[in-house]
Amino acid sequence: AAFISACNDAFRMPLLNRFFLLSADLLSTNRSSIFSGHHGQLSLTAVFLDEYRDRLFLGGKDVLYSLLLGPTSSESREIYWPPLPGNREDCIQTGKEPQTECANFVRLLQPYNRTHLLACGTGAFQPMCAFISVGHRGEHVFTMDPLNVENGRGKVPHDPSFPFASTFSGGELYTGLTADFLGRDSVIFRSMGERSTMRTETDQKLLHDPKFIAAHLIPDNDDRDNDKVYFFFTEKATEAGDREGAIHTRVGRVCANDVGGQRVLVNKWSTFIKARLVCSVAGPHGIDTHFNQLEDVFLLRTKDERNPDVYAIFSTISNVFQGFAVCVYRMADIREAFNGPFAHKEGPDYQWGAYEGRVPYPRPGVVSHCLLTTGGFGSTKDFPDSVLQFARSHPLMWRPVFPALRQPVLVKANIPYKLKQIVVDRVEAEDGQYDVMFIGTDVGTILKVIALHSGNSLETEEVTLEELQVFKCEYKLLFIMSHVLFNASKQQALYVGSPAGVAQVKLHRCEMYGKACAECCLARDPYCAWDGSSCSRYVPNSKRRFRRQDIRHGNPALQCVDQNLSGKDYLDVTEDKMVYGTENNSTFLECVPRSPQASVSWLVQRDDRKEEVKLDDRVMSTDQGLLFRRLFHQDEGIYICHSREHGFTQTLARLTLQVLPGETVDELMARDNAGLSDSFKDRSGGNYRAWMPCSSYSRGASSSQMSQSRSWFKDVIQLIGPSNLPLVEDYCERMWCNDKLRRKHKSMLEKYRQAQEGARKARSKSSGERNRTPRDLRAQEGY
């Protein structure tokens, strides 16, 4: 905990919108809670979310945790699991880093059987595995014998920083990793269980400096003999030819019932094949921008377990361009690529092409139950050598896999952070199903995004619903995962891990969107709908008929027509505020739209006439408000900030800008008996007491007086800069908190005010004449 509080929320300013929620807000509204271990920092490296037992298992540096998940409980158990005696010292002897390398970093946590988990750690560069007793559902057992460990070679990498993917199925562990001390032996392994260990041959054709991201068992059909294990990884693309060092993303697979060959490929995969995953956008000159680097994969499982949707984040990073994309792949398209032609290269001087010769039978990459029973094959050991030789020389498919609709669902370019992790939740809404993406970044935030297709067009519109700063500091997020708790309320949560700890985050907080139907509607959050009195969780097929929601169009005019749309109580969120600026200096009128999709416009009101603010080099509209780079006297007026979104206009701010003559502030600072310009006078209150800063010192000041004076104080500070703060405080103290002085000042103020008023009248008279520009004259003449 001490570690986390070392930095604070101010570390990163909110970027764009109201729906950027800081860590402190998430915690204080119970939207999130953070577990950071029993000793401050967790150094999290592995996680397993056990939906059956409602438990979250965590692995870190020399440590394992079990958290009991539930609406009320947050009980945690800890196991200390250091390297075996002597191994830490050996590791340090080889020149490795004691803190970041020579410890037991837990990399693998998989369910093993009904009572035990399998855990593997790097063991100070001597990988080891152990079984952890976790008990049955409902009990909170968490024990292991730290001396009863097995060799973990081939199960986790030696180096805690090396990429790694694994999946456990049918008592066997499938891993993609580098399995040696030097990190050079890239391999896909199968170990444990009854059958002999399987691996890929050491051959760059099969795996060329791979970086493994994910591994999943996905069945082909109901026959377990057809099960296949898919690996998602990037590697150097041999077929890219002259483009030396090109990286491609692959989906590779092996058959679960592969046992290797008899004479060739003994204990080596005979069914490994791979295809390229393409994620690209069309460029302006017919040259596609390819996102080649895979960052994360999420399998959105559906009722049909054979056909999950594969969501993947990609990046492309060059000197000129940093971009990220999310592409979605259908299993049917992946299978089709694996059933298509093999990639082939006749010799060193030939081009890559589709293999057009005869493919031996049974076709490499396929082992079906049907083949084994009717084809007269007992197992892959009975396959003819020709099949095994072909498999060995043709691991790559010719056709790549394109994403659904042949384009990304989301693209982000040149953003000041990196997209790293993805979890997707399919949500039922009033007007259909939506895939809500939760995307983790390298600065500790989660973006909650939906991608909408407008009509039949291929165009997608991405709507950022929320941006959550889950951790106070800018931690790279290690994982996010979603979970439905099996309790009565079926509460959903997101689990977000960073080196500092793990956070449980609720997927939505509808009431945050506001107190009006229109605001709820504009939020376009599929989780939320207007129920007649508040913005609340949308439950499909619920008895409540009165539900207003419009994700696709976010059109409150249609949805909320009878819902007090124009009710001033709800929608006029305006705060009338005074803002002071100094002549010839810059000033800023803040107005941040409530949603990132809204556009903002500014009106200025002078003498009951409203007109649009003319923008130019001097007066600029920014994401955060209106910037006057140099303030003129004639800029004075009431500035009204409107936001417009889907035809719905809202007034966000009404700011009265007063321009002080340049000398006023100097006088305030310099002359202790100087007066106060009329410009400081609060027009609404009309008296000085109300906004005197020291009314907060004097007893009996009402809270509204205090807040008024505070906002006045803030304006002044803004004007003169915080470095002069002690001066101002000193000044105010003497100026207003001393009754004698106050009486004395009052008369002086009056004189000063009269003088200012005179000067002002003179000025406004002359500027009125000056301001009659040719345009005004044209207007008068009826143009």
Ligand X SMILES: *[C@@H]1O[C@H](CO)[C@@H](O)[C@H](O)[C@H]1NC(C)=O
Binding region for ligand X (CB under 6 A) = 29-30, 112-116, 131, 563-564, 567, 569, 582-585, 661-662, 665, 719
Shortest Å, Cβ 272 to ligand X:
29
Shortest Å, Cβ 102 to ligand X:
28
Of 24 and 405, which has the nearer Cβ to ligand X?
Answer: 24
> Shortest Cβ contact with ligand X: which residue?
662
Number of other CB atoms surrounding residue 586 within 10 Å:
12
Distance CA 255, CA 269 (A): 9
Of 235 and 531, which has the nearer Cβ to ligand X?
Answer: 531
Q: At what angle do helices 725-736 and 739-770 cross, to 10 degrees?
A: 110
The strand pairing partners of 649, in sequence order, are 644
Of 440 and 661, which has the nearer Cβ to ligand X?
Answer: 661
Distance CA 626, CA 591 (A): 7
End-to-end CA distance of the chain: 68
Of 119 and 410, which has the nearer Cβ to ligand X?
Answer: 119
Distance CA 751, CA 749 (A): 5
8 Å CB contact between 469 and 25: no
Shortest Å, Cβ 669 to ligand X:
8
Of 116 and 689, which has the nearer Cβ to ligand X?
Answer: 116
Which run of H or of E encompasses 691? Answer: none
Give, as one character, the DSSP assignment of residue 469: E
Q: Which two tokens stand for residue 610?
A: 């409203």
Shortest Å, Cβ 717 to ligand X:
12
Tokens 């929608």 — which residue? 571
Distance CA 239, CA 248 (A): 10
Shortest Å, Cβ 542 to ligand X:
20
Of 192 and 653, which has the nearer Cβ to ligand X?
Answer: 192
Of 317 and 558, which has the nearer Cβ to ligand X?
Answer: 558
Distance CA 403, CA 409 (A): 9
Distance CA 510, CA 536 (A): 5
Compute CA distances 411 → 182, 449, 706, 768, whole Å.
37, 12, 48, 51
Distance CA 691, CA 675 (A): 15
Number of other CB atoms surrounding residue 367 within 10 Å:
27
Shortest Å, Cβ 435 to ligand X:
29
Shortest Å, Cβ 619 to ligand X:
16
DSSP per residue over 62-113, as a string? SEEEEEE-SSS---EEEEE-PPPTTHHHHHHHTT--TTTTSS-BEEEEEE-S
Question: Which residue intervals of 560-657 are DSSP H helices?
Answer: 568-571
Distance CA 379, CA 391 (A): 16
Shortest Å, Cβ 499 to ligand X:
26
Of 554 and 661, which has the nearer Cβ to ligand X?
Answer: 661
Of 385 and 666, which has the nearer Cβ to ligand X?
Answer: 666
Amino acid identity at 686? G
Q: Is 618 helix (H, G, I), strand (E, B) or coil?
A: coil
Of 72 and 541, which has the nearer Cβ to ligand X?
Answer: 72
Of 21 and 387, which has the nearer Cβ to ligand X?
Answer: 21
Shortest Å, Cβ 570 to ligand X:
7
Shortest Å, Cβ 113 to ligand X:
4
The three-point CA angle 650-651-652 to 5° equals 110
Which H, E and C letters describe 342-380, residue by residue?
A: EEEECCCCCCEEECCCCCCCCCCCCCCHHHHHHCCCCCH
Compute CA distances 746 → 675, 690, 750, whole Å.
8, 14, 6
Closest residue by Cα to residue 268 from 391, 449, 143: 391
Shortest Å, Cβ 118 to ligand X:
9
Closest residue by Cα to residue 462 from 478, 445, 439: 439
The strand pairing partners of 501, in sequence order, are 498
Number of other CB atoms surrounding residue 123 within 10 Å:
27
Shortest Å, Cβ 177 to ligand X:
23
Max Cα distance, the chain (Å): 111
Shortest Å, Cβ 94 to ligand X:
32
Of 210 and 556, which has the nearer Cβ to ligand X?
Answer: 556
Shortest Å, Cβ 173 to ligand X:
13
Of 422 and 719, which has the nearer Cβ to ligand X?
Answer: 719
Shortest Å, Cβ 568 to ligand X:
9
The strand pairing partners of 399, in sequence order, are none
Of 316 and 587, which has the nearer Cβ to ligand X?
Answer: 587
Tokens 């509080």 — which residue? 5
Of 45 and 582, which has the nearer Cβ to ligand X?
Answer: 582
Shortest Å, Cβ 583 to ligand X:
4
Compute CA distances 69 → 32, 271, 371, 477, 660, whole Å.
13, 40, 45, 21, 59
Give, as one character, the DSSP assignment of residue 404: G
Of 116 and 646, which has the nearer Cβ to ligand X?
Answer: 116
Handedness of CA 376, 381, 383, 385 (dihedral sign): negative
DSSP per residue over 500-540, as a string? TEEEEE-S--GGGG-SSHHHHHHH--TTEEE-SSSEEE--T
Shortest Å, Cβ 586 to ligand X:
8
Q: Is 234 helix (H, G, I), strand (E, B) or coil?
A: strand
Of 38 and 114, which has the nearer Cβ to ligand X?
Answer: 114
Of 476 and 633, which has the nearer Cβ to ligand X?
Answer: 633
Shortest Å, Cβ 139 to ligand X:
13
Distance CA 740, CA 760 (A): 30
